[in-house]
Structure 1
Amino acid sequence: MWVIAMFDLPVDTGENRKAYTTFRKKLLNEGFMMLQFSVYARFCSSHDSASTYRARIKKVLPPNGQVRLIYLTDHQFGRMEVFNGKKRTSPEGKPKQIMLF
């Protein structure tokens, strides 16, 4: 299962920029990888694991802006079409080893 975090956060003030940076760093520290600007994904071995990461993200939500979480099966994620220019490439695969903290 994949957890996709998508967000639009304001960066118009120093305080908002700091909240954006803090949120992004926390996603990276939780093992999310950047797919595109403001779109991050993390592979989870089960629905329970995905729920754990959902709870962790909820705890660090910034005060302003919008965050969306989507849950996809590995099969659904693998059917994603990715284009670099007009050339089609494969989507990211699940990690060879799940990181343990």
Structure 2
Amino acid sequence: MRLIVMFDLPVETTAEQRAYRQFRKALLSEGFLMMQESIYVRVVTNQKAANLLEKRIVVHVPNNGLIQTLQVTEKQYASMHFLVGEPKKDIKNRDDKVIVI
């Protein structure tokens, strides 16, 4: 499965910019990779793991803005269409590198 986090956070004040940086840093420390600006994705083993990861992210959510998550299966993620541009062939973003223990 993949957990996708999409967010739109205000960055008008210094405090909002700091909250944005802290949230983004928290996503990166949880192992998320940037798909696009303000869209991050991470491979998870199952829905339970995705739910636990969401709970860990909630701790870092700023007071303002909009943050949404989406859980999709690998099959759904693989069926993504690229209308412009090319898919990234980043080895860190491949599902065949996931080891389930």
TM-score above 0.5: yes
The secondary structure found in structure 2 opposite 1:67 is strand
Q: Which amino acid aligns with 1:50?
A: A
Give the number of the structure whose residues are more often strand, by fraction: 1
Residue 19 of structure 1 corresponds to which residue in structure 2? 19
Which runs of structure 2 are paired with 1:74-89 in the superposition (5 Å)? 74-82=74-82, 83-84=84-85, 88-89=86-87
Distance in 2 of aligned mates of 1:50 and 1:35:
18
Give structure 1 stretches of 5+ with no counterpart: none
**Compared with structure 1, are the counterparts of its residues 93 and 64 closer, same or farther at alpha carbon in structure 2 (3 Å cutoff)?**
same
TM-score norm. by structure 1 comes to 0.86
Q: Which runs of 4+ in 1 moved over 4 A?
A: none
From the superposition, tell whether residues 10 and 66 of structure 1 become closer, same or farther in structure 2 (CA, over 3 Å): same
Alignment of 1:42-61 (within 5 A): 42-61=42-61
1:54 partner amino acid: E
Aligned length: 95
Could you tell me how far 1:67 is from its partner in structure 2?
Answer: 0.1
Q: Structure 1 residues 28-37 or 44-53, which shifts more?
A: 44-53
More helix as a share of residues? 2
Q: State the structure with bigger RCO (CA 8 A, min sep 6), 1 or 2.
A: 2
Deviates more, 1:44-53 or 1:32-41: 44-53
Report the Cα distance in structure 2 between the residues aligned to 1:19 and 1:12, rounded to whole angstroms: 11
What is the TM-score with the length of structure 2 in the denominator? 0.86
Letter in 1 for 2:76: Q
Q: What is the root-mean-square deviation of aligned Cα atoms in Å?
A: 1.7
Alignment partners' CA distance in 1, 2:27 and 2:20: 11
Cα drift, residue 89 of structure 1: 3.3
Contact 1:10 1:65 in 2 (8 A): yes
